[in-house]
Amino acid sequence: MLEYGNLSTRWKTLRCKLLGTADIDRWRDASNFDDWGNRTRIVAGLLPAEVHIIEFGAGRRLLKGYLAPGSRYVASDIVDRGPGTIVLDLNSRPLPNLQPLGFDVAVLAGVLEYIVDLASFLRWLEVQVPTCVASYNCAASRRRSLGRIRERFRRTGFGWINTFDEDELLTLFQAAGWEANAAVDWHTPDGSERIFRFSRTSLV
């Protein structure tokens, strides 16, 4: 299993943030991942039926098993997750144009926390798909507060690159042309994580 909170994880997180890269070694072995089945079920419940879905950070591709009949699924991750995987580092620039593939929905569960330049990623995503379902563990502290400094330090122990509260996160999405139209909490013993559904506000 992955280890959290140690010096090695914190150092790798800071290095990724400074260099704008991803910790590829961390994600190579999907058998080390936690069980996110409950979150996956919530995500699936926010998805329209009979749509073409791309899941970024697909991991073990659990979402595919929860989709409604008639849905089409494509996995994308930083490493190959099996046949048909679109291997893509979301921290690389420029990101490719996926429009010709005709995706209706993008899913990002447990992914946004690891993106260095979230604003530019959301602008890119807005061009690729009309709907997005994404989870995020929102910060509880205020920006520029002592609590935020402590929270940033704690989050580096999980390997998380960025730290936003819910208002800051929604502002980033809105600036990139997204509007939140649903939100559900996923409750765990360690706290709650919010899962949002966003729709594109502009015509592309």
Torsions phi, psi for 121 (to 5 deg): -65, -45
DSSP 8-class letter at 98: -
Mean pLDDT of 41-70: 95
Return d(Cα 199, Cα 203) in angstroms, integer: 11
Q: What percent of the chain has pLDDT over 70?
A: 91
Residue type, 133: V
Examine the pLDDT at 31 and tell me if it is beyond 50. Answer: yes
Domains of the chain: 7-200 (3.40.50.150)
Burial class from Cβ neighbours inside 10 Å (0-12, 13-18, 19+) for residue 190 reads: exposed
Q: Give this prediction's pTM.
A: 0.89
Mean pLDDT of 7-14: 73
DSSP strands (E only) in the chain: 52-56, 72-77, 86-87, 105-108, 131-136, 178-188, 191-200
DSSP 8-class letter at 100: G
DSSP strands (E only) in 20-95: 52-56, 72-77, 86-87
- pLDDT single digits (tens) 162-175: 999 999 999 999 99
Q: What percent of the chain has pLDDT over 90?
A: 72
Q: Residue 1 — pLDDT band, cuts 50, 70, 90?
A: very low
109, 135 Cβ separation under 8 angstroms: yes
Mean pLDDT of the chain: 90
- pLDDT single digits (tens) 121-161: 999 999 999 999 999 999 999 888 999 999 999 998 888 99
